[in-house]
Amino acid sequence: MTRAGRVVPVLLALTLPLWLGSPYFLHVVIMAGIFGILALSLNLLLGYTGQLSLGHAAFFGIGAYTSALLTLRLEWSFWLALPGAVAAAGLAGWLIGRLALKLRGAYFVLVTISFAGVIALVSVNWMDVTNGPLGLPGVPAPALGPWSLRAKSVYYYLVLVAVLLAYLVCRRLVASRIGRAFVALRENEALAESVGVDVTHYLVLAAVVSAAMAGMAGSLYAHYTRFVSPEVFLFSYTVTMVIMVVAGGKGTLAGPLVGALIFTALPEVLRAVTSWQWQMLAYGVLLVLLVFFLPRGIVPALAAWRARNAP
Amino acid sequence: MNGLVLGGTYALLGIGLTLIFGLMNVVNFAHGEFYTLGAYAAFATLGLAGTHFVAAVLAAIACGVALGAVCELTLLRPLRAESIDTTMLVMIGVWITMQNGELLLWGGVAKSIPHPFPTAPLVLGPVSIAPLRVFVLVLAAGLIVASYLLIHKTQLGMAMRATFQDRDTAALMGVRIGRIHTATFAFGSGLAAAAGALLGPVFLVYPSMGDLAALKAFSVVILGGLGNLPGATLGGLLLGVAEELGAGYVSSGYRDAVGFVIIILVLLLRPAGLFAKQERIG
Amino acid sequence: MVTRWIVLVALVLAAIATTPGPAQSQAPIKIGVIEPLSGPVAASGNYVRMGAEIARDWLNARGGVNGRKIDLVIEDNKSDPKEAASAAEKLIVRDRVPAIMGAWGSSMTLAAMPKLEEYGVPMVVETSSAASITKRGNPWIFRISPPSEMEALGLEQYVDKLGVKRADFLAVNTDWGRGAISAFGDMLKRRGAVVGAAEFMDQAATDMNAQLTKIKGTGGDTLFLTTAVEQITLVMKQAQEQRLARKIITTGGSSSPTQLVKQAGAAAEGSYHIVFFMPWFPEAMPDGKLARMFVDEWSKRGHPFEGLTEGFRGHDGIATLAEAIRVAGKDEPKAIRDALWKVSLVGVNGPIKFEKDGPAGKESGQSKPSIFVVQIKDGKVALPW
């Protein structure tokens, strides 16, 4: 990529609120950013260690609830609540990692689904803490000293920083020895073990980082929408994450981000061009078509196309 | 008693899914939608004048089989070389499409399927159960038995078992893997549709009814062990009964948690499933 | 090749940049509508939409409001609070609606509320029952549906006539169900009745036998049921199978007794239902003529009769907003909000007039809707006394 090719997108991203115009578009971009972090986190497990977690919404929800409760009930500052949410989610990830370390494939998937199911039910029934189905309205927006970060254009920068952070963490991890161990695990676990890769240690590590990242996304979500209810545990959120990762291109770093952008924008685009009866039907059909024509995902397909057309 | 009725249908769903998942290695997220489709097909058939209830169930099965075959041929077969996540994603797309298609065709209002059975419950000692549920149980049992016969007594079944055990050898022996895949998917989908047609009159028919059913199906598959038919059957019955009993003792809000906790425990303690003897179908 | 790309990009930019032109005096007045049109409660959302469309068509047939036609911009919140917030944002920013009606479920309404405050756009709440909606200090909220407390008060006068001495509750595990249990429980205790068991069911649950068995064991005489009509059908059928012999009273107004008669049959016999609209006896409603006209128009459009108990909400919501716009003289959000405090009209349910509710200085508006009780007798819906 040329110098300009790298600088221009960065400049565009940094100045986005200025030229994007409509706050509605900004809203879509912010949501895309939050889901981008989620997709990156899921990609760590799915794309790099090869383990599919279908309970990732649980970590997202734990992060959201923890952050909301810490700021609402204990009146912590957002800047303390965010690490709190990350820690809580990371802890949950550690639990899953350790519990499920014997399981692979379909069995791991099912434990994650069941875990998410139990957490969802707890959030609905534990009225004293989570307020059950009534949810937690009025979650405060973060403040930096005397300035509130409530405004969308400002919150955008917060999310942008978080996305960059998540991306960098993933990149460092993947490029390091740990990352190579992940890939070794994914490709051939028995072989990896035989050359001394401590399988359980790395899987648990992946689970913790992945969950912690999802928790961060949850906290950002809670303070943006300022309302948390058990619906964050909806399976549809997990499904959306999976779509973003796999359609974007699992096992790549840019894939989940591209997937997040496209699949956050897609329902909104459909909202604008079709009437409500056809929106979700079109979404499903488009998804099938996308997978059919680009089975490896968008980013790998683009890379392959570029490689073919390289001079 | 109700646990058995539920369990019987969970078993039907589980058998279909365990075959699809076990043999084809496809995470069939659309399995719940074939269940829903079966219920709607039965509803639509009964809407035509004077069709008998059993005919409606058969029509539902036919629908499931047909659409399942179409899905496999058009979507899964071309993607067979891709990873399991890709096929999973395409089935997610099918799931969304089917559910919203049903919403568009029949609307969001729940439909009730008329049935020819009296509503007064039969009383057998301390147990009272509606005649409809007895019928459902009987028919479910019949279908389960039929599945066994298919897997164990027919050429097709033998081919399926061979493909499951060792795909390459089976191919070398002349088994047409492609056809086996189509047959497996169609069969599994047909069973799911049957479950939907059977449970439709007991409960109600609405587009999102398949979501929870699919989740239960996956649980049953794991409980019983991948590819393990008697495992899936017993697993289904067990889950149905456990849910019924569990709800009696645990606060009703946490009722579904019983199923989840059981799954987690089973997976932690006996990952191959409760009933796995060895990895094989049948 | 290059030209093709340029054309494509230009088309995309044009599509994105297409925003509604400046409002002229003859341009239609837009009202946003956010309802669950897909997902588990799609039926209810669609009924409300149908009612809203009838209101719009009647208004336009009479020349519109202030000489301009009414245009409904309808969005689906997919039964998800996150979508409700996105829909509100899109309606306000892209479509520039000056007012909204929505969003059916309480958590969907709560999720959209911050957007209303952010942009300063009023919303008429037509179905949600959570008390917190009007108590949160959001001055852009105006509710025409009753919170559970009001519903319970509405039933209070009939408690003795119904002979409720020992009541149990079975409710869907959502804010609505829990709110109902707490509101009705308090009311019953005030009247000296005893509250027995309070059981819950998951929104998607189809088998409630375990809960019914527990309830059977309490020896109560009344069961209060709060959930959507599909689950009510299932509960009644299962209660019949279990031979649970006691009075059933459904709350919330969404129980659609007609649908229950059709689908639960004999299992629904003798049950009572709190409704906010009696399409079987439109003349008994506060504005009998309007109610009758609504019922006739609904059936003329081929909509299912059982949807009337929810569809009227859509009509009343739009009628309220239209009246506010008329009083305000313009379709500007703040003016409409101020006008909402002044409106006094009669909808299908009855008189609509907003009173202050919530913390001082930031009150929301709450109207006091009429509440009715009907009973299913001999397979038909009847007035109980």
Q: Count CB atoms within 10 A of the CB of residue A20.
A: 16
Question: What is the DSSP pairing of strand A136-137 with strand A227-228?
Answer: antiparallel
Question: Do the chains contact at B82 and A295, CB–CB below 8 Å?
Answer: yes
What 3 state SS string does C77-97 have? CCCCHHHHHHHHHHHHHCCCC
C103–chain A Cβ distance below 8 A for any pair: no
Question: Do the chains contact at B104 and A277, CB–CB below 8 Å?
Answer: yes
Interatomic CA distance for residues A268 and C85, integer angstroms: 12
Question: Do the chains contact at C132 and A277, CB–CB below 8 Å?
Answer: no
Query: Is residue B238 a part of any domain in this protein?
Result: no
State how far residue A101 is from chain B, nearest Cα, in angstroms.
Answer: 9
Interatomic CA distance for residues C335 and C343, integer angstroms: 12
Domain boundary among C275, C301, C333: C275
Residue B26 pLDDT class (50, 70, 90 cuts): confident
Residue where the block lists tokens 């047939």: C61
Mean pLDDT rounded to a whole number for chain A:
83
Alpha-carbon Rg for chain B, nearest whole angstrom, is: 18
pLDDT at B275 over 60: no
pLDDT of amino acid C3: 40
C139 and C169 assigned to the same domain: no
Widest distance between CA atoms in chain A:
65
Q: Out of C82, C110, C173, whose CB is closest to A137?
A: C110
Task: Please report all neighbours of B, defined by 3+ CB atom pairs within 8 A.
Answer: A, C
Question: Do the chains contact at B96 and A287, CB–CB below 8 Å?
Answer: yes
Query: What residues in A contact C1, CB-CB < 8 Å?
Result: none
Query: Is residue C9 a part of any domain in this protein?
Result: no
Interatomic CA distance for residues B18 and B281, integer angstroms: 9
Q: Encoding tokens for residue B117?
A: 């059975």
Query: What residues in B contact C79, CB-CB < 8 Å?
Result: none
Question: Do the chains contact at B264 and A111, CB–CB below 8 Å?
Answer: yes
Question: Do the chains contact at B267 and A103, CB–CB below 8 Å?
Answer: yes
Q: Count CB atoms within 10 A of the CB of residue C379.
A: 11
Interatomic CA distance for residues B182 and B76, integer angstroms: 9
Nearest chain C residue to B133 by CA distance is C241
Q: Count CB atoms within 10 A of the CB of residue A8.
A: 11
Interatomic CA distance for residues B273 and B234, integer angstroms: 11
Nearest to A215 by CA among A105, A47, A92: A92
Interatomic CA distance for residues C64 and C70, integer angstroms: 6
Which residues are registered as beta bridge partners of C373? C274
Contact by Cβ (8 Å): C33, C53: no
Nearest to C221 by CA among C168, C298, C153: C168
Interatomic CA distance for residues B144 and C374, integer angstroms: 46
pLDDT at B251 over 70: no
Contact by Cβ (8 Å): A35, A217: yes
Contact by Cβ (8 Å): A111, A100: yes
pLDDT of amino acid B121: 65
State how far residue A232 is from chain C, nearest Cα, in angstroms.
Answer: 9
Interatomic CA distance for residues A93 and A206, integer angstroms: 9
Question: Do the chains contact at C46 and B108, CB–CB below 8 Å?
Answer: yes
Residues contacting C337, CB < 8 A, separation 6+: C120, C122, C139, C140
Overall number of domains in chain B:
1
Q: Out of B89, B100, B221, whose CB is closest to A243?
A: B89
C137 and C199 assigned to the same domain: no
Residues contacting C240, CB < 8 A, separation 6+: B119, B121, C266, C267
Query: What residues in B contact A291, CB-CB < 8 Å?
Result: 79, 86, 89-90, 93
Contact by Cβ (8 Å): B40, B192: no
Widest distance between CA atoms in chain C:
82
C263 and C216 assigned to the same domain: yes
Interatomic CA distance for residues A84 and A78, integer angstroms: 9
Residue range(s) defining the domain that contains residue B133: 2-209
C261 and C196 assigned to the same domain: yes
Write out residues 65-124 of C within 8 Å (CB-CB) of B.
Answer: none
Q: Encoding tokens for residue B32?
A: 């719940």
Query: Is residue C79 a part of any domain in this protein?
Result: yes
Contact by Cβ (8 Å): B131, B224: no
Query: Is residue C22 a part of any domain in this protein?
Result: no
C73 membership: H or E segment, kind and range: strand C70-76
pLDDT of amino acid A277: 77
Residue where the block lists tokens 């509750």: C169
Q: Out of C82, C93, C200, whose CB is closest to A225?
A: C82
C38–chain A Cβ distance below 8 A for any pair: yes
B116–chain C Cβ distance below 8 A for any pair: no
Cis peptide before C103 (omega within 30 of 0): yes
State how far residue A63 is from chain B, nearest Cα, in angstroms.
Answer: 21
Stretch B106-127: mean pLDDT, rounded? 70
Three-state DSSP state, B43: helix
Nearest chain A residue to C179 by CA distance is A134
Nearest to C228 by CA among B204, B32, B133, B6: B204
Residues contacting C286, CB < 8 A, separation 6+: C346, C349, C350, C351, C370
Residue where the block lists tokens 């005893």: C194
Nearest to C79 by CA among C34, C123, C48: C34
A86 membership: H or E segment, kind and range: helix A78-99
Residue range(s) defining the domain that contains residue C139: 28-146+290-367
CA C102 to chain centre: 8
Question: Do the chains contact at B204 and C230, CB–CB below 8 Å?
Answer: yes
Nearest to C48 by CA among C150, C162, C139, C124: C124
Contact pairs from chain A to chain C, CB under 8 Å: 84
Query: What residues in C contact B244, CB-CB < 8 Å?
Result: 207, 209-210
Q: Provide the terminal-to-terminal Cα distance of chain B, rounded to the nearest Å.
A: 27
C192 and C301 assigned to the same domain: no
| pLDDT tens track for B62-94 | 999 999 999 888 888 888 878 778 888 888 889
Q: Out of C92, C94, C174, whose CB is closest to A133?
A: C174
Query: Is residue B102 a part of any domain in this protein?
Result: yes
- Best of C41, C168, C207 to substitute, by most chain B Cβ atoms within 10 angstroms, is C207
Query: Is residue B273 a part of any domain in this protein?
Result: no
C265 and C164 assigned to the same domain: yes
Per DSSP, B252 falls in state: G
Stretch B140-151: mean pLDDT, rounded? 86
- Where are the extended beta strands (E) located within B29-160? 122-124, 127-129
Walk along chain C (385 residues) and give the pLDDT tens digit of each residue: 344 444 444 455 444 444 333 444 578 999 999 999 887 788 889 999 999 999 999 999 999 898 899 999 999 888 888 889 989 999 998 889 999 998 998 889 999 998 999 899 999 999 998 888 998 889 999 999 999 889 998 888 888 888 888 999 999 888 888 889 999 999 999 988 889 889 988 877 777 888 888 898 888 889 999 998 888 988 998 888 888 888 899 998 878 888 888 888 888 888 999 999 999 999 989 999 999 999 999 999 988 888 898 999 999 999 999 999 999 998 899 999 999 999 999 999 989 999 998 888 888 999 988 889 999 998 888 888 7
Interatomic CA distance for residues A102 and A108, integer angstroms: 9
Residue B55 pLDDT class (50, 70, 90 cuts): confident
Q: Out of C42, C199, C306, whose CB is closest to B108?
A: C42
The residue type found at A81 is A
pLDDT of amino acid C6: 42
State how far residue B40 is from chain A, nearest Cα, in angstroms.
Answer: 18
Q: Out of C37, C74, C178, whose CB is closest to A133?
A: C178
Does the complex come out with an ipTM higher than 0.85? Answer: no
Nearest to B222 by CA among A14, A215, A111, C359: A111
Contact by Cβ (8 Å): A59, A216: no
State how far residue C65 is from chain B, nearest Cα, in angstroms.
Answer: 32
Q: Which backbone phi and psi does C254 adopt, to 5 degrees? A: -105, 15
Buried/exposed B260-272: b ≥16 CB within 10 Å, e otherwise: bbbbbebbeeebb
Q: Encoding tokens for residue C385?
A: 């006394």
C203 and C294 assigned to the same domain: no
Residues contacting C315, CB < 8 A, separation 6+: C51, C52, C54, C55, C294, C347, C348
Interatomic CA distance for residues B247 and B257, integer angstroms: 9
- Best of C91, C110, C116 to substitute, by most chain A Cβ atoms within 10 angstroms, is C110
Question: Do the chains contact at C233 and B130, CB–CB below 8 Å?
Answer: no
Alpha-carbon Rg for chain A, nearest whole angstrom, is: 20
Interatomic CA distance for residues A255 and A249, integer angstroms: 4
- Best of B97, B109, B117, B206 to substitute, by most chain C Cβ atoms within 10 angstroms, is B109
Overall number of domains in chain C:
2
Query: Is residue C65 a part of any domain in this protein?
Result: yes
Query: Is residue C380 a part of any domain in this protein?
Result: no
Task: Please report all neighbours of C, defined by 3+ CB atom pairs within 8 A.
Answer: A, B
pLDDT of amino acid B277: 46
Q: pTM for the whole thing?
A: 0.81
Interatomic CA distance for residues A293 and A83, integer angstroms: 41
pLDDT of amino acid C131: 86
| pLDDT tens track for B193-221 | 999 988 888 777 888 788 878 888 887 88
Domain boundary among C231, C249, C275: C275
Query: Is residue C236 a part of any domain in this protein?
Result: yes
State how far residue B54 is from chain A, nearest Cα, in angstroms.
Answer: 32
Q: What CATH number is given to the structural domain containing C268?
A: 3.40.50.2300
Query: Is residue C252 a part of any domain in this protein?
Result: yes
Question: Do the chains contact at C213 and B252, CB–CB below 8 Å?
Answer: no
Question: What is the DSSP pairing of strand B122-124 with strand B127-129?
Answer: antiparallel
Q: Which residue has the higher pLDDT, B26 or B266?
A: B26
B155–chain C Cβ distance below 8 A for any pair: no
- Best of A231, A232, A263 to substitute, by most chain C Cβ atoms within 10 angstroms, is A231
Per DSSP, C355 falls in state: E
Q: What proportions of chain A, in percent to the nearest 5, are helix, strand and coil?
A: 80, 5, 20
State how far residue C232 is from chain B, nearest Cα, in angstroms.
Answer: 11
- Best of B83, B95, B100, B254 to substitute, by most chain A Cβ atoms within 10 angstroms, is B100
pLDDT of amino acid B248: 61
Positions of chain A with pLDDT under 70: 1-6, 101-102, 104-106, 197, 311
C295 and C240 assigned to the same domain: no
C311 and C361 assigned to the same domain: yes
Q: Which residue has the higher pLDDT, A132 or B276?
A: A132
Contact by Cβ (8 Å): A214, A92: no
pLDDT of amino acid C169: 94
Q: Out of C76, C89, C179, whose CB is closest to A279?
A: C76
Query: Is residue C48 a part of any domain in this protein?
Result: yes
Q: Within a 13 Å sphere around the CA of B217, how many CA atoms are in the beta-carbon half?
A: 34
| pLDDT tens track for B158-171 | 888 888 777 778 77
Angle separating helix axes A152-175 and A177-187, nearest 10 degrees: 70
Query: Is residue B204 a part of any domain in this protein?
Result: yes
Per DSSP, C68 falls in state: B
Query: What residues in A contact B215, CB-CB < 8 Å?
Result: 113, 117, 235
CA C305 to chain centre: 17
State how far residue C318 is from chain A, nearest Cα, in angstroms.
Answer: 19
Would the CA dihedral through C104, C106, C111, C116 be positive or negative? positive
C262 and C188 assigned to the same domain: yes
> DSSP assignment of A270-288, as one string?
HHHHS-TTTHHHHHHHHHH
